[in-house]
């Protein structure tokens, strides 16, 4: 084993050429040689180890092995009969560590040599530095300001410094057999303010100038008592922060930290001195926000950071302005709010489909701020949808990733695409609205455009459902607040998808009092009650019916299953009576109506279908959703929705209507055979495309004759 170790040691120089040997390894090997009494190899290993250790900085823990290395080499030298070399190593040892004591079993002779060397090499240093809080270093090692300590004879450097005092560095020559006395009095040059805060991280501002933040503690031990006096747990205290160069005079010292109540102290510096405040405690400045919602499990965000799932209570919302959002796949609750310390805010978060304002172009009269923010505020009263402006930096990032400019979705009031929007094309726009809406967890996107430099008070707001390339347009005029109210009302105007019906067609005829029945739905309530074409409805629930307009007005206020007693005259003029029950007939809106905000309606329908209703109700909503999707030319999704619609055959909006729409989808998707089959089914029905007609039969006929595309 020793042979092996020797062989390994012989390889060391070669190794040293490429890298510094590990002193720990060298020390281990040296100790093995030393304990095996192989002093020659021990000295050789320690020579190398000492060279390496002497090169290490004082702060390096490995450096602490140097006195041990000297001791081991001194004893090995002694073992080899080299007493002078042994003494020299003990001198070196004591210069490094004047209080060193030998370790292990040592022969009396070696102890005697060591004591003799110590007597000649080590003496005492008596040090007295004022102020006592000064930092004092002897040869770079921190020592107490007032101390009596062993020190090797020779030249030493003593340094002392303290904030507010001029630093001193001086040499000390220590002579064998004499006690070295060193006294240093630091000269005060400025006043110093000492601050400890609870919590740490508090910004200290003196006379309006920030001096940085306090750092995490602990502070000096003497602050414990002060902390107790101030009622602050010591564990919450910061480190001591010293602020030098305090000028004579009165000062205002402010303490500020996020989410805490700011405080301030007054300080008068009348002479150069140390000034200290008791620990400064900042009270938390927080409000409690309690969020309730019908959509349990929706994610709650504060300032863009997710905080949990609704319903939840946020006990620690810092005082100030925040954006609170509750998001789900189908909608979002969005609220900008300012909270104050101690507020208890109750939020009933009604999630609404959301349009993210992701494009702005043009400069509006009198508005230097972000147009998107202006529009967000102007439309915050919306009841049916949410219009929100994502943070500008996030928007920039998303648009850059798609190589888009802020004007990428600009439209004028005539729906004409402007700027980059005009270069994109509808198909690309459809793709982008889908992707960008998704990036912001929104159901749609919106833009705000000032389309004309000649009239910069007119602003166009465009709304697009995710995947739509054709916008809904709402126009407002900056200096006409009523236009904003009208725009909000326009967006909130929700079509109804059902209408009260008796299953009759009635007309007005001059010289005939009452509503003249010209058609009766064979399966409708009126037919069941015996109403026939040619009858004239003259009263309903004893109220005179002047004409068909009056009958419809009366019906409009009725609910499904409500009973009505009709008084009629038949063709011969004979009176008759019919007890009918009001039915709710489906409506199809938005397939053609250019004045309807179809993108908004699409979001609304998707949202409503998240909560299942009756099969009939769901079918009617889905029919309208399919129509809205067809309007934005999303034919594939439109077909999927329409295939789930189950409506009975019959007049009005019914299965024939669905078949016609399925035919349109199949045609657009290139399925000619499917389209023909669906159109044939539609043409065989009495269905209307909407309650106001025309009949799908006519539409199919027009389509087949090439008059309609």
The one among 306, 513, 592, 610 contacting another protein by CB under 8 A? 592
Instruction: Please report how many Cα atoms fall inside a 13 Å half-sphere around the Cα of residue 615, on the Cβ side.
Output: 5
Q: Which residues contact 17 (CB under 8 A, 6 or more apart)?
A: none
Nearest distance in Å: CB 702, another protein: 5
Instruction: Determine if 480 is a binding residue for another protein (CB under 8 A).
Output: no
Instruction: Determine if 693 is a binding residue for another protein (CB under 8 A).
Output: yes
Nearest distance in Å: CB 705, another protein: 7
Q: Which residues contact 692 (CB under 8 A, 6 or more apart)?
A: none
Stretch that binds another protein, among 1-9, 395-403, 591-599, 679-687 (CB under 8 A): 591-599
Nearest distance in Å: CB 461, another protein: 13
Instruction: Determine if 548 is a binding residue for another protein (CB under 8 A).
Output: yes
Stretch that binds another protein, among 57-65, 263-271, 281-289, 547-555 (CB under 8 A): 547-555
Q: Which of 158, 167, 171 is nearest to 188 (CA)?
A: 167
Nearest distance in Å: CB 533, another protein: 8
Alpha-carbon distance values, 636 to 155, 409, 665 (Å): 92, 24, 7
Q: Which of 277, 566, 560, 603 is nearest to 468 (CA)?
A: 603
Whole-angstrom Cα distance, residue 82 to residue 64? 25
Q: Which is nearer to another protein, 390 or 651 (CB)?
A: 651
Whole-angstrom Cα distance, residue 627 to residue 497? 12
Nearest distance in Å: CB 399, another protein: 26
Stretch that binds another protein, among 154-162, 196-204, 366-374, 586-594 (CB under 8 A): 586-594
The one among 46, 206, 695, 700 contacting another protein by CB under 8 A? 695
The one among 533, 560, 575, 648 contacting another protein by CB under 8 A? 533
Q: Which of 243, 232, 247 is nearest to 278 (CA)?
A: 232
Whole-angstrom Cα distance, residue 673 to residue 663? 9
Instruction: Determine if 369 is a binding residue for another protein (CB under 8 A).
Output: no
Instruction: Determine if 493 is a binding residue for another protein (CB under 8 A).
Output: no
Instruction: Determine if 599 is a binding residue for another protein (CB under 8 A).
Output: no
- Tell me which residues in 633-672 interact with another protein (CB under 8 A): none
Q: Which is nearer to another protein, 400 or 415 (CB)?
A: 415
Q: Which is nearer to another protein, 276 or 505 (CB)?
A: 505
* Contact assessment for residue 433 and residue 464, using Cβ atoms and an 8 Å cutoff: yes
Whole-angstrom Cα distance, residue 247 to residue 456? 55
Nearest distance in Å: CB 595, another protein: 6
DSSP SS3 for 482: helix
The one among 150, 272, 519, 530 contacting another protein by CB under 8 A? 519
Binding mask 448-477 for another protein (x = CB under 8 A): -------------------------x----
Instruction: Determine if 549 is a binding residue for another protein (CB under 8 A).
Output: yes
Stretch that binds another protein, among 96-104, 636-644, 679-687, 688-696 (CB under 8 A): 688-696
Instruction: Determine if 415 is a binding residue for another protein (CB under 8 A).
Output: yes
Nearest distance in Å: CB 355, another protein: 19
Alpha-carbon distance values, 704 to 305, 571, 680, 692 (Å): 56, 39, 10, 22
Nearest distance in Å: CB 266, another protein: 58
Read off the DSSP letter of residue 20. P
Instruction: Determine if 544 is a binding residue for another protein (CB under 8 A).
Output: no
Instruction: Determine if 554 is a binding residue for another protein (CB under 8 A).
Output: no
Instruction: Determine if 173 is a binding residue for another protein (CB under 8 A).
Output: no
The one among 557, 595, 612, 673 contacting another protein by CB under 8 A? 595
Nearest distance in Å: CB 682, another protein: 16
* Contact assessment for residue 304 and residue 391, using Cβ atoms and an 8 Å cutoff: yes
Instruction: Determine if 441 is a binding residue for another protein (CB under 8 A).
Output: no
> Number of residues in contact with another protein, rule: CB under 8 A?
39
The one among 247, 283, 692, 704 contacting another protein by CB under 8 A? 692
Peptide bond into 694 cis (omega under 30): yes
Peptide bond into 506 cis (omega under 30): no
* Contact assessment for residue 45 and residue 30, using Cβ atoms and an 8 Å cutoff: yes
The one among 19, 235, 368, 414 contacting another protein by CB under 8 A? 414
The one among 12, 106, 309, 413 contacting another protein by CB under 8 A? 413
Q: Which residue has the tokens 């495309």?
A: 689
Instruction: Determine if 530 is a binding residue for another protein (CB under 8 A).
Output: no
- Tell me which residues in 499-518 interact with another protein (CB under 8 A): 505-512, 516, 518
Q: Which is nearer to another protein, 85 or 691 (CB)?
A: 691
599-620 burial, b for 16+ CB within 10 Å, e for fewer?
Answer: bbbbbbbbbbbeeeeeeebbbb
Three-state SS sequence of 45-76: HHHHHHHHHHCCCCCCHHHHHHHHHHHHHHHH
Stretch that binds another protein, among 16-24, 151-159, 171-179, 542-550 (CB under 8 A): 542-550
Question: Helices 635-643 and 615-631 sit at what angle, rounded to 10 degrees?
Answer: 160
* Contact assessment for residue 590 and residue 601, using Cβ atoms and an 8 Å cutoff: yes
Alpha-carbon distance values, 577 to 529, 538, 559, 570 (Å): 9, 10, 21, 10
Alpha-carbon Rg of the chain, whole angstroms? 45
Instruction: Determine if 689 is a binding residue for another protein (CB under 8 A).
Output: yes
Q: Which residue has the tokens 């042979």?
A: 3
Cα angle: 481, vertex 345, 306; to 5 degrees: 90
Q: Which parts of this chain interact with another protein (CB under 8 A)?
A: 413-416, 473, 505-512, 516, 518-519, 533-534, 547-549, 552, 571, 591-595, 689-690, 692-695, 698, 702, 705, 707-708
């Amino acid at each position: 084993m020793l042979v092996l170790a020797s062989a390994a040691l012989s390889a060391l120089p070669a190794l040293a050429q490429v890298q510094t040997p590990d002193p720990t390894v060298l020390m281990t090997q040296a100790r093995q040689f030393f304990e095996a009494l192989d002093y020659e190899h021990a000295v050789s290993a320690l020579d190398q180890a000492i060279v390496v250790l002497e090169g290490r900085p004082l702060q390096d823990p490995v450096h602490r092995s140097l006195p041990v290395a000297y001791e081991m080499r001194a004893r090995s030298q002694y073992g080899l009969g080299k007493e002078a070399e042994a003494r020299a190593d003990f001198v070196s040892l004591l210069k490094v560590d004047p209080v060193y004591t030998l370790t292990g079993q040592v022969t009396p002779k070696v102890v005697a040599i060591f004591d003799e060397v110590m007597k000649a090499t080590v003496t005492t240093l008596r040090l007295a530095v004022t102020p006592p809080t000064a930092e004092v270093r002897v040869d770079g090692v921190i020592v107490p300001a007032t101390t009596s300590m062993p020190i090797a004879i020779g030249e030493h450097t003593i340094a002392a410094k303290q904030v507010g005092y001029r630093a001193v560095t001086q040499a000390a020559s220590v002579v064998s057999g004499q006690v070295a006395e060193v006294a240093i009095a630091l000269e005060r040059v400025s006043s110093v303010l000492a601050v400890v805060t609870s919590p740490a991280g508090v910004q200290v501002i003196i006379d309006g100038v920030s001096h940085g933040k306090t750092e995490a503690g602990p502070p000096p031990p003497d602050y414990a008592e002060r902390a107790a006096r101030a009622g602050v747990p010591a564990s919450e205290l910061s480190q001591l922060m010293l602020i030098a160069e305090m000028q004579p005079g009165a000062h205002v010292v402010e303490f500020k930290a996020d989410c805490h109540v700011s405080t301030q102290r007054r300080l008068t510096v009348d002479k150069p001195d140390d000034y200290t405040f008791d620990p400064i405690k900042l009270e938390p400045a927080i409000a409690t926000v309690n969020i309730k919602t019908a959509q349990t499990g929706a994610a709650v965000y504060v300032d863009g950071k997710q905080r949990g799932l609704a319903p939840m209570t946020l006990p620690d919302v810092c005082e100030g302005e925040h954006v609170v959002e509750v998001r789900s796949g189908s909608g979002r609750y969005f609220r900008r709010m300012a909270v104050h310390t101690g507020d208890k805010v109750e939020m009933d978060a009604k999630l609404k489909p959301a349009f993210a304002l992701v494009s702005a172009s043009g400069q509006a009269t009198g508005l230097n701020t972000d147009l998107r923010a202006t529009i967000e505020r102007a439309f915050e009263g919306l009841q049916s949808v949410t219009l929100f402006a994502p943070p500008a930096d996030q928007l920039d990032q998303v648009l850059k990733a798609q190589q888009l400019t802020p004007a990428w979705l600009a439209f004028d009031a005539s729906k004409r695409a402007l700027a980059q929007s005009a270069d994109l094309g509808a198909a690309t726009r459809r793709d982008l609205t889908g992707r960008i809406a998704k990036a912001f967890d929104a159901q749609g996107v919106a833009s705000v455009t000032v389309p004309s430099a000649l009239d910069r008070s007119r602003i166009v707001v465009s709304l697009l459902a995710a995947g739509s390339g054709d916008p809904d347009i709402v126009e407002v005029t900056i200096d006409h607040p009523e236009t904003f109210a009208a725009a909000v009302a326009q967006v909130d105007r929700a079509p109804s998808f059902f209408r009260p019906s008796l299953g009759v067609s009635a007309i007005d005829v001059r010289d005939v009092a009452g509503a003249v029945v010209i058609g009766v739905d064979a399966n409708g309530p009126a037919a069941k009650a015996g109403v026939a074409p040619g009858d004239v409805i003259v009263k309903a629930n004893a109220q005179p019916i002047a004409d068909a307009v009056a009958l419809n007005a009366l019906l409009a206020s009725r609910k499904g299953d409500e009973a009505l007693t009709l008084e009629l005259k038949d063709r011969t003029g004979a009176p008759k009576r019919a007890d009918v029950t009001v039915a709710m007939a489906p409506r199809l809106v938005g397939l053609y109506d250019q004045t309807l905000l179809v993108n908004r309606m699409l979001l609304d329908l998707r949202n409503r279908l998240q909560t299942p209703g009756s099969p009939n109700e769901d079918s009617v909503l889905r029919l309208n959703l399919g129509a809205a999707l067809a309007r934005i030319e999303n034919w594939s999704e439109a077909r999927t929705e329409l295939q789930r619609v189950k409506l009975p055959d019959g007049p009005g909006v019914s299965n024939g209507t669905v078949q016609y729409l399925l035919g349109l989808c199949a045609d657009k998707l290139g399925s000619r055979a499917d389209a023909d089959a669906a159109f044939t089914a539609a043409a065989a029905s009495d269905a209307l495309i909407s309650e106001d007609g025309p009949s799908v039969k006519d539409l199919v006929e027009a389509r087949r004759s090439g008059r309609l595309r």
